Protein backbone atom coordinates (compact mmCIF):
# COMPACT_ATOMS: atom_id res chain seq x y z
CA UNK A 1 0.00 0.00 0.00
CA UNK A 2 1.78 3.10 -1.27
CA UNK A 3 0.75 5.97 0.97
CA UNK A 4 2.73 8.61 -0.94
CA UNK A 5 2.66 8.58 -4.72
CA UNK A 6 4.47 10.53 -7.39
CA UNK A 7 2.70 9.49 -10.54
CA UNK A 8 5.10 11.09 -13.00
CA UNK A 9 8.36 9.13 -13.23
CA UNK A 10 9.96 11.92 -15.25
CA UNK A 11 9.56 15.55 -16.29
CA UNK A 12 11.44 17.49 -18.94
CA UNK A 13 11.49 21.31 -18.88
CA UNK A 14 13.26 24.08 -20.75
CA UNK A 15 15.63 26.34 -18.81
CA UNK A 16 13.86 29.43 -17.48
CA UNK A 17 10.41 27.83 -17.51
CA UNK A 18 8.44 26.54 -14.55
CA UNK A 19 8.81 22.96 -13.28
CA UNK A 20 5.82 21.51 -11.45
CA UNK A 21 6.27 18.25 -9.57
CA UNK A 22 3.24 16.56 -8.06
CA UNK A 23 2.64 14.25 -5.14
CA UNK A 24 -0.48 12.58 -3.72
CA UNK A 25 -0.94 10.95 -0.32
CA UNK A 26 -3.60 8.77 1.23
CA UNK A 27 -2.91 8.85 4.98
CA UNK A 28 -4.88 11.60 6.77
CA UNK A 29 -2.52 11.36 9.75
CA UNK A 30 0.35 12.92 7.82
CA UNK A 31 0.86 16.46 9.10
CA UNK A 32 4.21 17.48 7.67
CA UNK A 33 5.47 17.26 4.11
CA UNK A 34 8.92 17.67 2.65
CA UNK A 35 10.64 17.76 -0.72
CA UNK A 36 14.10 16.37 -1.26
CA UNK A 37 16.44 16.46 -4.23
CA UNK A 38 18.78 13.56 -4.90
CA UNK A 39 21.73 12.95 -7.19
CA UNK A 40 22.99 9.40 -7.89
CA UNK A 41 25.26 7.97 -5.19
CA UNK A 42 24.40 10.81 -2.80
CA UNK A 43 21.93 11.18 0.02
CA UNK A 44 18.76 13.25 -0.42
CA UNK A 45 19.15 17.00 0.11
CA UNK A 46 16.35 18.84 1.89
CA UNK A 47 14.70 21.52 -0.24
CA UNK A 48 11.53 22.82 1.35
CA UNK A 49 8.78 21.69 3.70
CA UNK A 50 5.23 22.57 4.70
CA UNK A 51 3.08 21.75 7.68
CA UNK A 52 -0.55 20.79 7.36
CA UNK A 53 -1.69 24.06 8.92
CA UNK A 54 -0.45 25.96 5.88
CA UNK A 55 -1.29 25.79 2.19
CA UNK A 56 1.82 27.43 0.76
CA UNK A 57 5.46 27.85 1.63
CA UNK A 58 8.01 29.72 -0.42
CA UNK A 59 11.81 29.71 -0.38
CA UNK A 60 13.55 31.49 -3.22
CA UNK A 61 12.79 29.72 -6.49
CA UNK A 62 10.95 26.90 -4.70
CA UNK A 63 7.31 26.99 -3.65
CA UNK A 64 5.34 24.12 -2.18
CA UNK A 65 1.54 24.07 -2.28
CA UNK A 66 -0.60 21.82 -0.13
CA UNK A 67 -4.24 20.96 -0.86
CA UNK A 68 -5.36 18.96 2.18
CA UNK A 69 -8.87 18.23 0.92
CA UNK A 70 -7.40 16.66 -2.23
CA UNK A 71 -4.46 15.16 -0.34
CA UNK A 72 -2.18 16.67 -2.94
CA UNK A 73 1.00 18.70 -2.84
CA UNK A 74 3.13 20.19 -5.54
CA UNK A 75 6.57 21.73 -5.86
CA UNK A 76 7.04 24.66 -8.22
CA UNK A 77 10.51 25.67 -9.36
CA UNK A 78 10.69 29.04 -11.07
CA UNK A 79 12.79 29.65 -13.07
CA UNK A 80 14.17 26.19 -13.71
CA UNK A 81 17.92 25.86 -14.17
CA UNK A 82 20.01 23.01 -15.62
CA UNK A 83 21.53 22.47 -12.15
CA UNK A 84 18.04 21.53 -10.93
CA UNK A 85 18.23 18.31 -12.93
CA UNK A 86 17.97 15.50 -10.36
CA UNK A 87 15.49 13.09 -8.81
CA UNK A 88 12.91 14.80 -6.61
CA UNK A 89 11.20 12.96 -3.77
CA UNK A 90 8.25 14.06 -1.77
CA UNK A 91 7.99 12.72 1.76
CA UNK A 92 5.41 12.82 4.51
CA UNK A 93 5.50 12.36 8.26
CA UNK A 94 3.07 12.25 11.14
CA UNK A 95 3.35 12.26 14.90
CA UNK A 96 3.25 8.73 16.23
CA UNK A 97 3.10 7.71 19.87
CA UNK A 98 5.05 4.52 20.53
CA UNK A 99 6.38 2.67 23.55
CA UNK A 100 9.72 4.44 23.15
CA UNK A 101 8.14 7.89 23.06
CA UNK A 102 6.63 10.22 20.48
CA UNK A 103 8.14 9.67 17.07
CA UNK A 104 8.51 12.33 14.40
CA UNK A 105 11.28 10.56 12.58
CA UNK A 106 9.53 8.26 10.12
CA UNK A 107 9.36 9.68 6.63
CA UNK A 108 7.26 7.95 3.99
CA UNK A 109 8.63 8.68 0.53
CA UNK A 110 7.17 8.75 -2.93
CA UNK A 111 8.90 6.87 -5.74
CA UNK A 112 10.55 10.01 -7.10
CA UNK A 113 10.37 12.09 -10.28
CA UNK A 114 13.38 12.57 -12.53
CA UNK A 115 13.54 16.23 -13.52
CA UNK A 116 15.60 17.18 -16.56
CA UNK A 117 16.09 20.87 -17.32
CA UNK A 118 17.39 21.51 -20.84
CA UNK A 119 19.57 24.56 -21.56
Partner 1 sequence: KAGVTQTPRYLIKTRGQQVTLSCSPISGHRSVSWYQQTPGQGLQFLFEYFSETQRNKGNFPGRFSGRQFSNSRSEMNVSTLELGDSALYLCASSWPGQGGYGTKNIQYFGAGTRLSVL
The residues of the shown chain that bind partner 1, judged by CB under 8 A, are 32, 34, 36, 41-46, 49, 51, 53, 89, 91, 93, 96, 98, 100-112
d(CA 118, CA 3) in angstroms, rounded, equals 32
* Residue number with CB closer to partner 1 (49 or 79): 49
Strand-pair partners of 23: 73
In the three-class reduction of DSSP (H, G, I as helix; E, B as strand; rest coil), residue 82 is classed as helix
CA 117 to chain centre: 18
What value, to the nearest 5°, has the Cα angle with vertex 111 and ends 24 and 108?
70
The number of residues making up the chain comes to 119
CB of 14 to partner 1, least distance (A): 28
d(CA 80, CA 59) in angstroms, rounded, equals 14
* Residue number with CB closer to partner 1 (8 or 79): 8
CB of 28 to partner 1, least distance (A): 17
CB of 106 to partner 1, least distance (A): 5
* Residue number with CB closer to partner 1 (25 or 36): 36
CB of 77 to partner 1, least distance (A): 19
Is the alpha carbon torsion for 33, 38, 42, 45 positive or negative?
negative
* Residue number with CB closer to partner 1 (12 or 103): 103
Amino acid sequence: DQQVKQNSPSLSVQEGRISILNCDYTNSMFDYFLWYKKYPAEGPTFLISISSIKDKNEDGRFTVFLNKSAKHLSLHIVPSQPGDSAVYFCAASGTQANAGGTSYGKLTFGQGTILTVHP
